């Protein structure tokens, strides 16, 4: 396994692999790797000749009041995890290499970037789309692996890929959870034991919502989750929305395949989670 720290060097190596006929898989991450990331890596190792894991805490996707500086950066442990999981290259660029002070170009995904998390994290998805586009170009990836855990991010990257004719195929990967249902996240490390216990109610309420969605109307499903989330001590809801699976537009009574997406503060930690919900055949939800 090789550690590459410079974008131009990574791209040169990737181009050589393409010339040799290798297929490249990219797993973009911000590090503090856990089983969720490892599931993406495992898919790439299985599908692709070469697996590149990027580890980059991307400054342009953080708002000024967010946790950019305190975001966990256990570089040594991350490298060990990558090695153990048969990664070929870990790409760990500096912020200055990726976004030097004269960087001027940003990608916007109209509408999709302004809803759900985008309504609370101004310029977040513009930063995500821009770094992902750069990583696609640097890695020359045939496939890139994204977790459904960040559902809006996945949809935005898919839309960007389609609209801008990127050749990189986006591979969605299902959410890895603790046995108790909590979605794995690098930010879970901010939670105290008590907060972690409380946050289990997020995935639990979503799981129950997916059951309710089969037979109850949207209002009931949404209100039930909001009430449950409000009851978590120290919680504050940023949003709890039911949207269409395909394009994140607001769901209505005819929606058959939806996603219930939430962002909830537990103390000082902001957690996101979502669940896919499918209507029972023959029911309209009325
Ligand atoms: P991050 O390091 O949080 O930016 O995440 C890097 C990639 O890993 C993103 O595509 C995430 O959606 C994905 N990911 C994060 N947590 C999980 C999880 N619990 N299950 C599956 N994928 C995940």
Ligand 1 atom index nearest CA of 187: 3
Using pLDDT thresholds of 50, 70 and 90, give the confidence band for residue 285.
Answer: very low
**Structure confidence by residue, pLDDT tens digits, 164-187:** 999 999 999 999 999 999 999 999
Phi, psi of 22 (to 5 degrees): -80, 150
pLDDT band at 280 (very low <50, low <70, confident <90, very high): confident
**Atom of ligand 1 lying closest to residue 31 CA:** 2
For residue 57, report the distance from its CA to the centre of ligand 1, in Å.
13
Give residues with Cβ within 8 angstroms of 78, minimum separation 6: 31, 32, 33, 55, 90
Name the DSSP class of 247.
T
* Helix residue spans in the chain (DSSP H): 7-19, 35-47, 75-84, 95-98, 117-120, 124-139, 151-163, 193-213, 218-230
For the beta sheet containing 2-4, the strands, ordered from the edge strand earlier in sequence to the opposite edge, are 2-4, 89-91, 50-55, 24-29, 143-147, 169-173
Side-chain-side CA neighbours of 15 within 13 Å: the count stands at 8
CB 120 within 8 A of CB 262: no
Instruction: Decide whether any atom of ligand 1 lies within 6 Å of the 157 Cβ.
Output: no
Note the pLDDT tens digit of each residue in 107-162. Answer: 999 999 999 999 999 999 999 999 999 999 999 999 999 999 999 999 999 999 99
User: Does 78 contact ligand 1 (Cβ within 6 A)?
Assistant: no
* 218, pLDDT greater than 90: yes
Q: How many CB atoms lie within 10 A of CB 9?
A: 15
The residues spanned by each domain of the chain are 2-173, 186-278
What pLDDT is recorded for position 281? 74
Q: What is the pLDDT of residue 282?
A: 61
pLDDT tens for residues 230-246?
999 999 999 999 999 99
Binding site membership of 30 for ligand 1 (Cβ less than 6 Å): yes
- Enumerate long-range contacts of 196-199, CB under 8 Å, 24 or more apart: 198/232, 198/233, 198/234, 198/235, 198/266, 199/232, 199/264, 199/266, 199/271
Ligand 1 proximity of 203 Cβ (cutoff 6 Å): no
CA angle 101, 107, 110 (to 5 degrees): 140
Which one of 28, 29, 43, 57 would you pick to mutate in the ligand 1 pocket, going by the greatest count of ligand atoms within 8 A of its CB?
A: 29
Ligand 1 centre to CA of 146 (Å) is 7
Q: Indicate whether 82 pLDDT > 80.
A: yes
Q: Give me the chain's average pLDDT, please.
A: 97
Closest-CA residue, ligand 1 atom 19, reads 184
Measuring from atom 14 of ligand 1, which residue has the nearest CA? Answer: 147
Nearest of 147, 146, 185, 1 to residue 81 by alpha carbon: 1
Nearest residue to 181 via CA among 149, 133, 214: 149
- Pairing outcome for strands 89-91 and 50-55: parallel
| Percent of the chain at pLDDT exceeding 90 | 98
Q: Which residue has the higher pLDDT, 263 or 282?
A: 263
Residues with a known catalytic role: 37
Q: Label residues 260-285 b or e (16+ Cβ within 10 Å = b).
A: bbbbbebbebbbbbbbbbebeeeeeb
Task: Determine contact, residues 135/28, Cβ cutoff 8 Å.
Answer: yes
Residue 274 near ligand 1, beta carbon < 6 Å: no
pTM to 2 decimal places: 0.97
Q: Are 125 and 156 contacting, i.e. CB atoms less than 8 angstroms apart? A: yes
Determine the distance separating the centroid of ligand 1 and the alpha carbon of 199, expressed in angstroms: 18
- pLDDT digit string (tens) for 21-77? 999 999 999 999 999 999 999 999 999 999 999 999 999 999 999 999 999 999 999
pLDDT at 10: 99
CATH number corresponding to 186-278: 3.30.1300.10
- 262-272 mean pLDDT: 98
CATH architecture of 2-173: 3-Layer(aba) Sandwich (3.40)
The answer to whether 44 and 145 have CB atoms below 8 angstroms apart is yes
Q: Coil, helix or strand for 256?
A: coil
Q: Would you say residue 284 has pLDDT above 70?
A: no
With a pLDDT cut of 70, the percent of the chain lying above it is 98
> So what's the pLDDT on residue 286?
43
Question: Of all protein residues, whose CA lies closest to atom 18 belonging to ligand 1?
Answer: 36
Is 36's C-beta closer than 6 angstroms to any atom of ligand 1?
yes
Beta bridge partners of 76: none
Q: How far apart are CA 247 and CA 159, in angstroms?
A: 9
């Amino acid at each position: 396994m090789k550690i590459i720290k410079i974008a131009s060097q990574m791209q040169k190596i990737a181009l050589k692999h393409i010339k040799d006929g290798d297929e490249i898989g990219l797993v973009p991450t911000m590090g503090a790797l856990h089983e969720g990331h490892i599931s993406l890596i495992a898919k790439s190792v299985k599908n692709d000749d070469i697996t590149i894991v990027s580890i980059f805490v991307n400054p342009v996707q953080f708002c000024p009041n967010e946790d950019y500086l305190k975001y966990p950066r256990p570089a040594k442990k991350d490298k060990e995890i990558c090695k153990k999981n048969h990664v070929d290259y870990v790409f760990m660029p500096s912020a200055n290499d990726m976004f030097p002070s004269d960087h001027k170009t940003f990608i916007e995904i109209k509408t999709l970037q302004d809803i759900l998390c985008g309504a609370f994290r101004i310029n977040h998805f513009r930063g995500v789309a821009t770094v992902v586009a750069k990583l696609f170009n640097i890695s020359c990836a045939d496939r890139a692996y994204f977790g459904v855990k960040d559902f809006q991010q996945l949809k935005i990257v898919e839309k960007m890929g389609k609209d801008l004719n990127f050749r990189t195929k986006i591979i969605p990967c299902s959410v890895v959870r603790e046995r108790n249902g909590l979605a794995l996240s690098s930010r879970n490390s901010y939670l105290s034991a008590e907060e972690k216990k409380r946050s289990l109610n997020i995935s639990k309420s979503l799981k129950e919502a997916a059951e309710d969605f089969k037979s109850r109307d949207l209002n009931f499903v949404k209100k039930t989750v909001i009430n449950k989330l409000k009851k978590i001590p120290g919680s504050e809801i940023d949003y709890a929305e039911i949207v269409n699976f395909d394009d994140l537009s607001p769901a209505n009574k005819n929606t058959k395949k939806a996603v219930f997406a939430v962002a909830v503060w537990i103390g000082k930690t902001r957690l996101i989670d979502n669940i896919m919900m499918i209507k029972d055949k023959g029911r309209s939800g009325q």
